[in-house]
């Protein structure tokens, strides 16, 4: 009889904890609808439900020989009382591409979070935690890119997948691609910058993710 009583108490506790978890999960979902919630660890893996329109360029038939692939690696390391590390990076970080050829960014890893490929000035690549934070200041590279992808600041409307400044495709700072899990795990674009230039880019959501494209 005592055992049964104990079991009922356990069941009640589990029920209460369970409903709390549901409430917490719902709250998290609501809190994680903005593109930039990387500071909140609870949002990792929670922002893949954004409504996104289909990408018209995604269906283009592109020859593999003229396309280079960059992995968008998203791994997470958690050691209790020690580490929470977001191992997010572009691999390789540096590639050489002929003008007019394409680069395809492909998400690999267990976390389906959105990313951007945002061209910036080399000086805008954060090198310190302070600079990482400064990237989100009003008018700075990250906040400007996020505003361009989400111009009405409304998570219910689809983000702009391709932001273009100046000439078409990727050629100058401000050009930006949005890699949205709701659309697919990859996005590609032609490189139209002049030969003998280098394009620098970062993810405007996780700006420690950085890369360069050497245009040949």
Q: Contact residues for Cu ion (CB under 5 A)?
A: 115, 203, 205-206, 209
Nearer to Cu ion, 4 or 39 (CB): 39
Nearer to Cu ion, 149 or 206 (CB): 206
Q: Residue 178 Cβ, how far from Cu ion at the closest point, in Å?
A: 10
> CB–CB of 195/96 below 8 Å?
no
Q: Residue 209 Cβ, how far from Cu ion at the closest point, in Å?
A: 5
Q: What is the dihedral of CA 14, 18, 21, 22, to 10 degrees?
A: -170
DSSP state of 110: S
Nearer to Cu ion, 148 or 203 (CB): 203
Q: Residue 117 Cβ, how far from Cu ion at the closest point, in Å?
A: 9
Q: Which residues pair with 91 in a beta bridge?
A: 71
The owner of tokens 């910058």 is 193
The sign of the dihedral angle between the CA atoms of 160, 165, 170, 174 is negative
Nearer to Cu ion, 68 or 115 (CB): 115
Helix (H, G, I), strand (E, B) or coil at 183: coil
Q: Residue 16 Cβ, how far from Cu ion at the closest point, in Å?
A: 37
The sign of the dihedral angle between the CA atoms of 140, 146, 149, 154 is negative
Q: Residue 205 Cβ, how far from Cu ion at the closest point, in Å?
A: 5
Nearer to Cu ion, 27 or 49 (CB): 49
* CA 122 to chain CA centroid, nearest Å: 20
Q: Residue 202 Cβ, how far from Cu ion at the closest point, in Å?
A: 9
Phi/psi region, residue 174 (left: phi>0; alpha: psi -120 to 50; beta: rest), is left
Rg, Å, the chain Cα set: 21
In this structure, what token pair is assigned to residue 69? 């692939």
CA dist 159 and 48 (Å) reads: 12
Nearer to Cu ion, 103 or 209 (CB): 209
């Amino acid at each position: 009889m005592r055992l049964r009583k104990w079991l009922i108490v356990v069941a009640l506790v589990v029920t209460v904890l369970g409903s709390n978890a549901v409430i917490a999960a719902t709250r998290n979902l609501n809190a994680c609808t903005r593109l930039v919630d990387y500071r909140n660890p609870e949002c990792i893996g929670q922002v893949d439900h954004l409504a996104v329109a289909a990408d018209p360029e995604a269906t283009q038939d592109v020859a593999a020989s003229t396309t280079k692939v960059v992995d968008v690696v998203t791994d997470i390391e958690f050691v209790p009382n020690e580490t929470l590390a977001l191992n997010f990076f572009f691999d390789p970080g540096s590639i050489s591409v002929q003008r007019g050829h394409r680069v395809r960014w492909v998400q690999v890893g267990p976390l389906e979070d959105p990313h951007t490929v945002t061209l910036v000035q080399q000086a805008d690549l954060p090198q310190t935690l302070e600079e990482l934070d400064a990237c989100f200041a009003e008018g700075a590279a990250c906040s400007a890119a996020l505003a361009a992808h989400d111009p009405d600041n409304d998570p219910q409307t689809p983000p702009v997948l391709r932001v273009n400044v100046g000439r078409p495709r990727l050629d100058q700072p401000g050009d930006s691609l949005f890699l949205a899990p709701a659309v697919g795990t990859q996005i590609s674009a032609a490189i139209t910058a002049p030969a003998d230039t280098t394009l620098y880019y970062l993810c405007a959501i996780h700006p420690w993710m950085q890369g360069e494209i050497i245009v040949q």
